[in-house]
Amino acid sequence: MCGRYAITLPPDAMAQLFAARPANALPAVPNFNVCPTTQVHVIRSGESGRNLVSMRWGFLPHWYKEETSGPLLINARAETLAEKPAFRAACRERRCLIPATGFYEWTKDTAGNRLPWYIFREDSAPIAFAGIWQSWGKDDPQETCAIVTTAANTAMSAIHHRMPLILEPDDWALWLGEEGKGAARLMEPGAEGVLDWYRVDPKVNSNRAEGEELIEPFEA
């Protein structure tokens, strides 16, 4: 699962990294507490090449009459992505990348308190989540997205049984549909030794928390 993350990379750096043309209106960075239903940075590919755009994090199937007509779909399971009615068309036709600096996950202590962890690439490179997107609404359509998740690898399973699907640069073009078919082979647990993590301050348990201190190591 991925329910909160951080992004510190400036839009021009994101555009350069992903070889994408940036849109004029993009979410502000840095953001150390990116939450569901907010606007997030997304890279998608089209006839004119790659574009860096803003989308609502929370996928809205076309049959939702209102944003709250059904469950909040911030994640999509890789194992059933091609089968679920909400996601199967997007899985075939509308895959995207969602950049991040790191993401949060939670464990619980013996008293049931939620203990947050900050998870990041061991090599300090930006993370590229695999995502899918959907344009929703007729009168004033908005573009929405979800992060694809997979079973946790051995190391991550100590924190949570799910993890976001993280793609390496060599796989970006295939996921975006630029290299034809075959993206299904990418939907596997991530390689071991790519991610690292540490405890962070419980203040990040609040979706209103802000500031760089959210991703700093915390000693209980």
Q: For 108-131, give the DSSP string.
A: E-TT--EEEEEEEETT-PPEEEEE
User: Choosing from 91, 105, 143, 145, which is the catalytic residue?
Assistant: 105
User: CA Rg, the chain, in Å?
Assistant: 17
Give the active site residue among 2, 91, 96, 145.
2
The model's pLDDT over 53-78, given as tens digits with 9 standing for 90+, comes to 999 999 999 999 999 999 999 999 99
Is the residue at 195 inside a domain? Answer: yes
Nearest to 42 by CA among 29, 25, 27, 55: 55
Q: Could you tell me what percent of the chain has a pLDDT over 70?
A: 100
Residue 1 has a pLDDT of: 72
User: In CATH, what number is assigned to the domain containing residue 130?
Assistant: 3.90.1680.10
Active site residue 2: yes
Residue 220 placed within a domain: no
Express each pLDDT in 96-112 by its tens digit: 999 999 999 999 999 99
- Provide CB contacts within 8 A for 78, sequence distance 6+: 130, 148, 149, 150, 165, 187, 188
What is the CA 116 to chain-centroid distance, rounded? 18
**Residues of the domain holding 177:** 5-215
Over the stretch 126-151, which tens digit does the pLDDT of each residue have? 999 999 999 999 888 999 999 999 99
| Number of compact structural domains in the chain | 1
Active site residue 91: no
Structure confidence by residue, pLDDT tens digits, 8-39:
999 999 999 999 999 999 999 999 999 999 99
Question: Does residue 163 contact residue 153 with C-beta atoms inside 8 Å?
Answer: yes
pTM recorded for the entire structure: 0.97
Give me the pLDDT at residue 203, please.
96
